[in-house]
Structure 1
């Protein structure tokens, strides 16, 4: 298998990464075929080395300026720069990457982390970026929106009981408090789609290497947050009912590959939580598997809302913990090289 660093295709324009546009599939397919011939790229299925790339939530809602939850990081343009570097990483290592997995944060309006789910005594909803703690629920400062009870076929009182149980579960686990986010990654909306430049790179790879990418939906459960693609923040309700499930396919995939590169948004939330859950599975299976994980640190940024929240330090601390466990923290420009 080719280990050479390949040139960027002529059509790739870094200046367009932060813009919305239509991918020209027909042209890119023909260009990918010619590119594969020119650089002697073989189908991924015949590669001796198995190298996967896991791209977490690189969607317009997180990666486009002026969209709902743009991850600017401290620079203010983090996700655009991250995605540019990630696209270049894919193209330059097209001969080495054998499979790409993209996760898709997928939401509807009536979910636990959106404003409509809660009301105060005056019927007002919490503002985006509010944190709802256990004390806010036990005191009645915030209550489950009783008007939604018929939608979920539950009594309003049980809805409030579920919220209390949820906040209590988060506190016991030492997780972030329940955060109310702006409506984002809405199923059927443009914010849900992958960034066009990245979608184009993934499509180009699928044609050039004859490999079908995988797309993993997460975050569509109404009664739990789902930062990690591997599992939700809280698995069960107050009566033991399932709120979501732990997905074992990722630890199984890691066992099957030689390397797993990870990038995406946001470093402090969905990336960190996914890697943390993967590390738990690694430690329960075989701690040496951590050595197969490569974190592209320059292809992810933390959530920073100036004057409101800054999760940079929390993200950095998580990556230090991952490195101490044996994972490798690398840059996209390091290349893949020999295994």
Structure 2
């Protein structure tokens, strides 16, 4: 059987485009789109890279929350991981992975954590008996709400429930109870982050540039998926919010059914991003739940880039490394693959090949 162009490109990558500077992955800068578009078109021509529509094997790359707020040192929720520069090092490898595998990545899907100030997980939503807001990283349990240690800020009612404070207080207790009963993380007060319209909300420039370059080289429109704007629920997973219904069973939000269907149509789906212990783990968990309800054998088409994701670690405060590892072990046990970006794709276990 003749070796296909797709297989040749993966086995013998042409290298990295000259514009890529690994030392700038942890910095903020403007992507020169017009210049990169021309370079991508020339790169594809020189390397013989075909348009994505020609792919016999359709490969999706799902990038979860690769945003400045999580990936640039000094920003609100920088994911340092156990080594201190986790997200920066992850993104350096991620960019190299995208460039080296341009010819076999059919589409890139990037999620964007998207918030406004007055949401249930931000400090302004809560007050204590003295009217003070909780500090970031505070966990609020249902018991804390029942005893009045933390209560809904009365000013939130005018913004979220047409002035009905009692309704909002009842919902807040219901929300905390639902998290606990569902075996999810407790309600955590996060610092203001990924603020819609702010610089923290944007994709990391180096990764955004790689996504744009891929789209131009392969004539493949990337898909940007916003999540997290609902003020009444956290939304770690891009596929589903943490809580779907209110105290009376009334709908609060819904699953992203269109995205679930889209992701499961790929012959292989590669997952990377931040943070391994939270938005990555929860997204993959929701995807696995859908797979197991549909066809458990589909789990084998999912590949988790171990070296392009890190857990939340705040020294002296919290370390979610064990939770992240437990989640990934569960995914592997279900049939998903734990792989590294530095290994050739065609050597990954059960990776689909072009049938021609």
Interval of TM-score (by shorter of Structure 1 and Structure 2): over 0.9
CA-CA distance at 1:27 after TM superposition: 1.0
Name the counterpart of 1:92. Answer: 100
CA-CA distance at 1:246 after TM superposition: 1.0
CA deviations on 1:150-171 (whole Å, 9 max, x unpaired) are 1121411111111100011011
User: Distance between the aligned counterparts of 2:14 and 2:62, measured in 1?
Assistant: 20
Q: TM-score, normalised by structure 1?
A: 0.98
Residue 127 of structure 2 contacts residue 152 of structure 2 at CA under 8 Å; is this kept in 1? Answer: yes
Which blocks of at least 5 consecutive residues in structure 2 are unaligned?
347-351
User: Distance between the aligned counterparts of 1:117 and 1:131, measured in 2?
Assistant: 13
Name the counterpart of 2:6. Answer: 2
Name the counterpart of 1:11. Answer: 19
CA deviations on 1:169-214 (whole Å, 9 max, x unpaired) are 0110111110000000000000000000000000000000000000
> What is the number of residues matched between the two proteins?
339
Name the counterpart of 1:110. Answer: 118
Residue 115 of structure 1 contacts residue 126 of structure 1 at CA under 8 Å; is this kept in 2? Answer: yes
Name the counterpart of 1:218. Answer: 227
Name the counterpart of 1:268. Answer: 277
CA deviations on 1:261-314 (whole Å, 9 max, x unpaired) are 000000000000000000000000000110000000100000000000000010
- Following TM superposition, the consecutive aligned residue runs of length 4 or more in structure 1 with deviations greater than 6 angstroms are none
User: Distance between the aligned counterparts of 2:15 and 2:42, measured in 1?
Assistant: 13
Name the counterpart of 1:235. Answer: 244
With 43-52 and 252-261 compared, the bigger mean Cα shift is at: 252-261
Q: Aligned to 1:268, what secondary structure does the other structure show?
A: coil
Q: Aligned to 1:334, what secondary structure does the other structure show?
A: coil
Name the counterpart of 1:141. Answer: 149
Residue 294 of structure 1 contacts residue 328 of structure 1 at CA under 8 Å; is this kept in 2? Answer: yes
Match of 1:26 among 24, 34, 40: 34
Residue 239 of structure 2 contacts residue 260 of structure 2 at CA under 8 Å; is this kept in 1? Answer: no
User: Distance between the aligned counterparts of 1:72 and 1:104, measured in 2?
Assistant: 19
Which blocks of at least 5 consecutive residues in structure 1 are unaligned?
none
Name the counterpart of 2:50. Answer: 42
Q: TM-score, normalised by structure 2?
A: 0.94
Residue 250 of structure 1 contacts residue 278 of structure 1 at CA under 8 Å; is this kept in 2? Answer: no
